[in-house]
Amino acid sequence: MSAAWHFYQQKSTDPIHNPISGEFFSTESVGNVMEAVVREGIQNTLDARRKCADGSREPARVRVFVSGLEGALQGPRARHWFESLWPHVTAPNNGLRSRPSLSAGCPFLVFEDF
């Protein structure tokens, strides 16, 4: 199975927005980045719950998995998922504070909601 990242091609007529997501998820502004990601993910799940006829909302279940270094994708497997992303990761002025290595292991987070 082929994996590829797809990006919106900005047109010259599109308005330019300076995203603040990098600031929002910076360690200085939220304290613990993992807490911020989980908090936002859970909030999005709660907001998206289906409404019942009486106005209440259906329950939601969330599963969060953090691979850690032991379960990280190793270089060749990670490359399969990120190779088409790589030109964006290495682009100048892309907003990343530090660039990962394509050959390094890739710890990951899975956030599932039901």
Q: How far apart are CA 26 and CA 95, in angstroms?
A: 12
pLDDT at 28 over 60: no
> What's the mean pLDDT in 69-74?
90
What mean pLDDT, rounded, does the chain reach? 81
Helix (H) or strand (E) holding 1: none
Torsion of CA 77, 42, 113, 94, to 10 degrees: -30
Nearest Cα neighbor of 80 from 109, 103, 110 is 103
pLDDT for 24 beyond 90: no
pLDDT at 112: 92
* pTM of the full structure: 0.58
**pLDDT recorded at residue 103:** 79
Q: Pairing between strand 62-66 and 109-113?
A: antiparallel
